[in-house]
Structures are given as C-alpha cells and as structure tokens.
Structure 1
Amino acid sequence: MRARILVPLLLAAIAILVGAAGFLLVYSKDPSATRTVVSGALPGGAFRLTDQNGAMVSDADLKGRPFAIFFGFTHCPEICPTTLWEMSQALAALGPEADQVKVLFVTVDPERDRPEMLQQYLQSFDPRITGLTGSEAEITAVAKAYRVYWRKVPTSDGDYTMDHSAMIYLMDRQGRFADTIAYGTPGPERVAALRRLIAGA
C-alpha cells in the first residue's frame, strides 16, 4: 500500500524537477556576459491588440523600433506596479534616448482589463508606456508566442487573481528577441539593457 502511494509522489517530484530544469535551460544567465541565454524557440511573434485609447497596435507597427514587452494585469498587487514604476524611472534616466524604444504592457486579464481600465491604471506611470488588451483568444495567442506563464487563481472572496511571468522581453528593430530584464533588476542594469537594445548591441 505504501509503495502505491510513494510511486505517484516520486513521479510528481521528478516531473517538477524536470520542469524546473527546463525553465533554467530556457532562461539562464551566461556567466561571461550580461545577456540571457535562451534555448529552443525564441519568444516573440505576430500580434494585433487594442491599446488603452482604443487604437489597434500590431507587431508590424513596431518594425524599425526596438521595444520592451511585459505581461501583467491591473489588479496585480506588487509585481506589475513595481515593474511599471521601474520602467518609468528607466525611461526618465534614458533622457532623449527613451523616445527610440517602445514599452508595452500586455494584460493577461482581458476579462477585467478593457481599454478604459488600462487608461486609468497607466496614468500613474510614464505616459510613453502603452497598455494592450484584446479578446481572450488574442491574449492567449500573444502570451504563448512570448512563452509567458499565466494562470487564473480563484480567491477566498469569490474573486480571482492571476499568476504570471515577471520577465520583461526586449525585442530588436526587426521584432526579434534580444534579451530579458528580470524582476528586481537594479536600476542601472535596467537602463544599460535598454541602451544596448537601442544601440542594437
């Protein structure tokens, strides 16, 4: 009987370890450089979403301009507002260079985050940050293209929250993956990563 219980537990533990190892292989830091090493299919792909002003924005509109893209939601208690504030600080630190890069905030909660909600929420951050939303299918497609983890989690009060990846993806002028900025990256490193992106280095 104990063996019947232990075998599934062991298999579950192995699955968790394999998943963790896969994540580390996909997003690992090269000790000899400041870049993130990504294996397998690279994040990125075509999308067509609606911004906070109701206008359509697609990946084609961004060709020729590097961009940073982050996935989150307006009801996020910590990670999203912190990341948006830090990106606002980074844009300010870049000075005139900031106009050469686009910063996108894509919601993973389109049920609540309609354009008017994004517009209100983003008033607290740099006005150059663009919020994007769409249908459930559109958000699912772009999140999968960028290899983003997200999951709706019910809360005890009958509402829900969202678990999601906290990585910022940096895409070059051709819309190709260039690097990432991890949550909690110090300000100077964040600014340096954006400068490299703008320079195409």
Structure 2
Amino acid sequence: KGPIADGFRVSKEVGPCKYLLPRAPVQMVTCNEGRTTSWFDMSQLPLRATDSPPRHGCSLEEALASCGRVHAAIEKLVGDGIPPERIVVGGFSQGGAMALLASLTYPQRLAGIIVFSGIVFFADYLPALMAEHNQGYKVFWGHGSKDDVLDVSLQAAGVKALEEAGLQVTATQYQTVHSSTEDEMDDAVAFFNKLLAG
C-alpha cells in the first residue's frame, strides 16, 4: 500500500502476475538519530556518487539479511502459485536498493526490477553476488533530477554498474525532488506491462 503501489494500473493484457513492493521494518537509522522505516542503517544523508561507500553506513551482512526478508516474501508468492518469471520487485529510495539486491541474489530468475530514486549498494561486489541466471535482467530506474536525498548522480553511477554486470537498464529522470511523479508512474507501468505482456 502507499502512493507508489496505488499508482500502478496493470493492463489486463498482462495476465496473472504480481508486483512486489516490500515494506521495510522500523529500525534505528544513524543519520536520523532515531527509529524509522528502513532496510539499512545510513550514516549520512544526502548522498552523492562521489561519496565513498563506507560513508553510506550499510554493511554487506545487514544488506543480505534484509534480502532474506524480501526473498521470503517472494517465496510466499511462489507458494501461492505465482511463477517467479511473473513477479516484478520494485521499491523507492532504500526500497529501490533492496529491490535490486534482493532480485539479483534470488536463486530463480524473476521478471524484472523497478527502481524509484534508488541507489546501488556494493557495486564492486555485484558480479560476485549475482546469481548466474540474472544476466540480461531488465530494470526500470526513474529518478528525480532535483533529488535532495539521493542525488541524481547516483542514478548514473548505478546504471553504469548494472550495465557492466550485464543488465539492461531503462533510466529516466523527472523534474522532482526525492519523490515520484505521475509521469514516472506512467512510465513504470508501461515498462511493467511491456515486460509481462511479451
């Protein structure tokens, strides 16, 4: 539930499918000096592509533990009869980072990934972390050109890392800050529909 989930209107031509926008747990976040909804701890915000990974504050162990939560949600859908190749995982901000990492480390190939204003954590480890069958994954990445939390430079850096790892990325920018726009939702839904109608 939420504005991003509510913005999705899937074409009937797509047929049976699921898009998964997992909700993060509430936990301590260093840069917020308190507890909030979060997949990872963050030591600093805003972030730019020039900031070194240690300043992000997220450990690989913590990230992989969060991946386990998303993998469990995917397994629930698979258990309910939805084939993995009919599941798209997406998320906003940290959720976008989690959608990428969880999908790429999942042991079965999913349909694709949708990222809104996200970041690629552990880009240097990406090829080693990725399951072999995830080469050629299709990704939609929308980002605000005026993002004041995760700078738009992180999109360019992330797309470069993903493409070097063998993924196909559709990257777009929108005239907004750290939020989504109606045009972005429309583009993401079009990507989703095309991905699953083919």
Identify whether the pair has TM-score above 0.5, normalized to the shorter chain: no
Instruction: Point out the structure with max Rg over C-alpha.
Output: 1
Normalising to structure 2: TM-score of the pair? 0.29
TM-score normalized with structure 1 length: 0.29
Greater relative contact order (CA < 8 Å, ≥ 6 in sequence): 1
From the two aligned structures, give the one with the greater strand fraction.
Answer: 1
